[in-house]
Amino acid sequence: MIKRIFKRNSHNLLFKWIAGFGISMNRIYENRNHHIESNGELTVLKKLSLLGPEIIIDGGANIGNYTKNIRSVDKEAEIFCFEPVPETFEQLKENLQGDKKVHLINKGLYSENGIKKINIYPSHTHASIYNITGVPYEAIGTMEIEMIRGDDFVRENHISYIDFMKLDLEGAEYDCLQGFENTLQEGKIRLIQFEYGYINILTKHLLIDYYRFFEKYGYRVGKIFPKKVEFRDYRFKYEDFIGPNFVAVKKTDTDLIALLSKNK
């Protein structure tokens, strides 16, 4: 009866307001929040620090704010920061200078080595290889950047194990993961964090694609919430583009899954 009443009055101002309020509440419930201090990202870092990670990759380091958050909870880990845009990379160097355990790489992580065109947006610290539409701003230019395949970087730098890899690549997260297929196959990455949101409408890489990709390598996928990671099987209802952050952990790594799942 309630559904029938609502449908008959769907363009009534009151019902429009109720619908809008419901959408807003759902976004809050599903943690549409990009602030690391409150959306659970910092909670993940704090929990991970308890395990003494040695190697961390910051994919899409931008100007270094995320790496600074890593350092706020972990003083010892060796961090590899990837940022392909030269102007942004200069700010990254300035912000992280003096930390001898931070390695800065002026390249982007991708599925293959080579040169790729990237779109630059007004803030100059926001760039994507995808042409972002449906937002109130447009690209102010493009430039060519150097890309490197993750497997090649791991091999060339003699990295035997990656404790944590964070990917914030403005839509290129799936492309990047394809470049780490050998490393994943060998079980050399413990924890991966990736973004999923509205930009995935443009990239055509849906949440189900991530689930299928990680399933192939024996990983379990969970969504980051403020106090915990909720590991859950894929359902159509999760394909909401709300995001923002998910993680993947080896199914056999039950200790890490239990730690991340704790509601604190």
Q: What is the pLDDT confidence band of residue 22, given thresholds at 50, 70 and 90?
A: confident
Terminal C-alpha separation, the chain: 41
163-190 pLDDT per residue, tens: 999 999 999 999 999 999 999 999 999 9
In the prediction, which pLDDT does 112 show?
97
pLDDT value of residue 6: 66
Which tens digits make up the pLDDT trace of 76-107? 999 999 999 999 999 999 999 999 999 999 99
| CATH architecture type of domain 37-261 | 3-Layer(aba) Sandwich (3.40)
d(CA 164, CA 162): 6
Domain assignments of the chain as residue spans, ordered by start: 1-30, 37-261
**Do residues 78 and 55 lie in contact, with contact meaning Cβ atoms separated by under 8 Å?**
yes
Task: Compute the distance between CA of residue 12 and CA of residue 1 in angstroms, rounded to an integer.
Answer: 17
The Cα–Cα gap between 150 and 89 comes to 19
Q: What is the mean pLDDT of the chain?
A: 93
Strand partners, 164: 56, 191
Angle (CA) 138 143 144, round 5° = 140
Rg (CA), the chain: 20
* pLDDT value, residue 100: 94
If pLDDT is split at 50, 70 and 90, which confidence band does 67 have? very high
Please tell me the predicted confidence (pLDDT) of residue 72: 95
Q: Which two tokens stand for residue 173?
A: 């997260």
In this prediction, residue 204 has a pLDDT band, given cuts at 50, 70 and 90, of very high
- Written as one letter, the residue type at 54 is E
pLDDT, position 74: 96
> Using one digit for the tens of pLDDT, what is the confidence trace for 205-262?
999 999 999 999 999 999 999 999 999 999 999 999 998 999 999 999 999 999 999 9
Q: Which residue has the higher pLDDT, 10 or 196?
A: 196
Separation between Cα atoms, residue 75 and residue 117, nearest integer Å:
35
Q: Pairing mode, if any, of strands 141-149 and 108-110?
A: parallel
Q: pLDDT > 90: what percent of the chain?
A: 78
Question: Would you state the pLDDT for residue 32?
Answer: 82
> Please, which residues bridge with residue 162 across strands?
189
pLDDT for res 125: 66
Size of the chain in residues: 264
